[in-house]
Amino acid sequence: MELIVVMAIIGLVLAIGVPGFAHYNKQLQLNAATRNIVGLLSLARSTAISTRSTRTVDMNPQTGTLTLEAASDQDDARVIRLSSSLTLAIQNADGTSLDGESPVVFQPSGALSGRSVLLVLSGRNVHSQTIRVVAATGAISVDD
């Protein structure tokens, strides 16, 4: 009888805990993807400044890839592939959507060519995160 009670308590704890753990895991995936994208954008910006040349990050929301293009034959392109459970939306600073592939080009000064950009990462049943890249300075920040 005691064994049945203990098994029932363990089953109840698992029934309550497993869904919460799954949500926590999805949020961790979103946070990791956000850090990877910020790192790639920061690398592109700092490389543009240090080499005094433009650096381009191509973003494709349909495939969930971001690619820092190689600057020369010696460099390798750096690619981030998002998990299939995450979606990427690219927007102008005013919130209007940019459809299709969108490059972010950092100038040798560190500023962007063109307008400020918002990258919105989201997943099912998790809070979205917005990465903001300011055109005038190239500053990269994350909004929850």
Q: What is the CATH number of the domain that holds 109?
A: 3.55.40.10
Q: What is the pLDDT of residue 114?
A: 85
Q: How many domains does the chain have?
A: 1
Q: What is the pLDDT of residue 101?
A: 64
Could you tell me the mean pLDDT of each successive run of 10 residues in the chain, 144 residues long? 91 83 84 94 93 91 88 74 89 77 88 90 86 93 86
Nearest C-alpha neighbor of 90 from the set 60, 129, 53? 60
**pTM of the predicted model, to two decimals?**
0.81
Q: What is the pLDDT of residue 74?
A: 57
Q: What is the pLDDT of residue 100?
A: 66
Cα distance between residue 103 and residue 113, in whole Å:
10
Q: What is the pLDDT of residue 17?
A: 78
Give the domain range for residue 124.
Answer: 2-143
Q: What is the pLDDT of residue 125?
A: 78
Q: What is the pLDDT of residue 129?
A: 92
**CA distances from residue 65 to 10, 61, 83, 93 in whole angstroms, order as listed:** 42, 7, 10, 21
Q: What is the pLDDT of residue 124?
A: 82
Q: What is the pLDDT of residue 109?
A: 94
